[in-house]
Amino acid sequence: MKTALVTGGSRGIGAAIVLALARKGFTVILNYRSDDAAASGVAEQVAALGGECVLARADVSDVAQVDALFADIDSRFGQLDVLVCNAGVLRDTLLGASEPADFDDIFSVNISGVVNCCRQASRRMVARRRGAIVNMSSVAATRPGRGQSNYAASKGAVEAFTKALAVELAPRGIRVNAVAPGVIETDMTRDIRALAPQELNKRILLRRVGGAHEVAAVVAFLCGDEASYVTAQVWHVDGGFKAE
C-alpha cells in the first residue's frame, strides 16, 4: 500500500489529483479546509473507482493543525509516500488598493502552508529514504497578470522553496518538483474566465483554458516511479501561455 496526502483536495485541481492518484493505486488522504460536503463527494467518487480515500480536515496555514494531521497519518498508516501541496488561495488586487492582511492571507496559505506540510512530510520520508513531493505553483510566478503581486510573489516563493528542498532531500532519495498550471477551469478562475474569454484564449497557444484533469495527469506522473529521475523541476501545464 502506498499513501498520498493531497492538500486542498475537495475541489478543482486538488480533487482531480485525488482521483488520478487513486486510479494509480494510492490510498489518498484528502485534506481540505472547510467544505465537508465537497470532500465527501470526492471520497465517494474514489470509492466508486474501488479506491480508498480518507478525509482530513485541517487548515494548512495553521502549524498546530498540520502537526495534528501528520500525527493522525502516523497512527492510521505509519507511512507517507507522496505529498502534494495543492491548497492555495487567490486574492487579486492592485497593490495600492490592498491591505497588509491581503498579503498575509495569501502567504500564510500559499507558501507557509506548503512549508508546514513539507517539514512534517520530509521528516517521515527521510527516515524511510523514499518519497515524492509535488508543490503547486502557477503561471503567475513567471508571467503574472495585473493585480497579482501578492499571488505571484507567493508562487515564486513556492518555486524557489521547491528547488531548495529538492537539493536538501535528493541525497535521501526524495524527489521534489513543482507544477505551474496556466488558466484552469475551476472555482478559482471563474471571474477571470468570465471577464474576457476571447482575449484570454488569444494568450494561450492551444487557444483554450485547461481542465483540472490535465494538471492532475502531470502531478500523478511526478508522484510515481515513472518520474524516478526527475527532481528540482517546475513543470508548466499551461497550453503555451504567452507573456503580455
Residue 94, judged by CB atoms within 10 A of its CB (0-12, 13-18, 19+), counts as exposed
Query: Choosing from 26, 70, 103, 151, which is the catalytic residue?
Result: 151
Is 229 among the residues known to form the active site? no
13 binds ligand NAP (CB under 6 A): yes
- Of 187 and 226, CB closest to ligand NAP: 187
Grid cell of 40 as nine digits: 465527501
131 binds ligand NAP (CB under 6 A): no
Question: For ligand NAP, which residue of 3, 5, 6, 12 counts as binding (CB under 6 A)?
Answer: 12
Residues 6+ apart with CB under 8 A from 46: 18, 19, 22, 28, 52, 53
Q: What binding mask, one character per residue, do residues 157-196 give for ligand NAP by CB under 6 A, x or -? A: ------------------------x-xx-xxxx-------
* Whole-number Å distance between alpha carbons of 150 and 49: 38
144 binds ligand NAP (CB under 6 A): no
Handedness of CA 113, 117, 118, 119 (dihedral sign): positive
51 binds ligand NAP (CB under 6 A): no
Grid cell of 176 as nine digits: 521534489
Q: CB of residue 153 vs ligand NAP: minimum separation in angstroms?
A: 13
- Of 71 and 127, CB closest to ligand NAP: 71
Q: Could you say which residues in the range 28-47 bind ligand NAP, by CB under 6 A? A: 31-35, 38
87 binds ligand NAP (CB under 6 A): yes
Grid cell of 163 as nine digits: 528547488
Neighbours of 31 (CB within 10 A): 31
Grid cell of 221 as nine digits: 506522473
Q: Which residue(s) pair with 184 in the sheet? A: 210
Binding residues (CB under 6 A) for ligand NAP: these are 7-8, 10-14, 31-35, 38, 59-61, 86-89, 109, 113, 136, 138, 181, 183-184, 186-189
Catalytic residues: 151
